Chain A
């Protein structure tokens, strides 16, 4: 499937996927269990908003599960799922483009208190919220999900060369925003 799934789990996942494709309800449930955190994280960093990510993730899952039979390559499941989520998000943004506003600081910080590494996630999400959607996707796919340039380019729908160029620029920008924030935090803590 991809490098994020441990090797021993990959085959098990493929079996579940195959069963889910045949309409096995238990397998569908197991499939959701297996990928919901990954897909939710992707939606969360893409939208910068916990509640929005929840709705988007739900819609994406419905679409994924309804079209599961059309998936030919099992190893392409996650990129396919990411692509569906991205398209749904773009559609929803287009529908409310006139009322579209930037996510607020509060929205970015909406994340359960019991979440592990909560502060890191919030800071990273804040830094991501300064980027536009296509730049965010680059960072999420390559930086967070560990996709190759080619895989990420396929999900986003750009050429590998253009992705490489843009990612270089975005990483610099992100580094500037993110590291400045961390330094400020360190200074606050020491004072």
Chain B
């Protein structure tokens, strides 16, 4: 008997796959497909959530809100600027008298009227509260 003959016999002899092999393959395949689908769902959900969070962050950080066009430092000054009445009060009271106004949180703030230089030259009255001076608001822009 030659090796070629043996190969022929072997070639013509199928080895039967175990009976349950196909069933097990199909079951595993179904499980894997299901698992892959779940993974894909979470992956897409994670991507969408990341995009939404990123958009929200950029909205709050980078997009200026209406009325907030000025830089924060300047905005603070504007916000802290007192109502005109008390400056007028200072005007009528004169230097050294007590000025007062109601702050944003409703508290009564007391200060002293003092003279401060103005950038355009000259001086004007301002209310000094705890060493900080609060000047007359700037005239509205044209």
Residue ranges of A at the interface with B (Cβ–Cβ < 8 Å) = 4, 28-29, 32-33, 36-41, 44, 54, 57-58, 61-62, 65-66, 111-112, 115-117, 120-121, 124, 143-146, 171, 174-175, 178-179, 182
Contact = CB atoms under 8 A, between A and B. Distances in A.
A4 to B, nearest CB: 8
B3 A174 contact: yes
Interface of B: 1, 3, 6-7, 9-11, 13-18, 21-22, 24-26, 28-29, 32
Given A40-B17, A62-B32, A143-B7, 7 more contacts: A29-B26, A32-B26, A37-B16, A40-B18, A58-B25, A120-B10, A121-B10
B18 to A, nearest CB: 5
B15 A124 contact: no
A178 B17 CA distance: 25
A39 B11 CA distance: 13
26 contacts: A28-B26, A32-B22, A32-B25, A38-B14, A39-B17, A40-B15, A40-B16, A40-B17, A40-B18, A44-B15, A57-B17, A61-B29, A65-B29, A66-B29, A115-B15, A116-B14, A121-B10, A121-B13, A121-B15, A124-B6, A143-B3, A144-B10, A144-B11, A146-B11, A178-B6, A179-B3
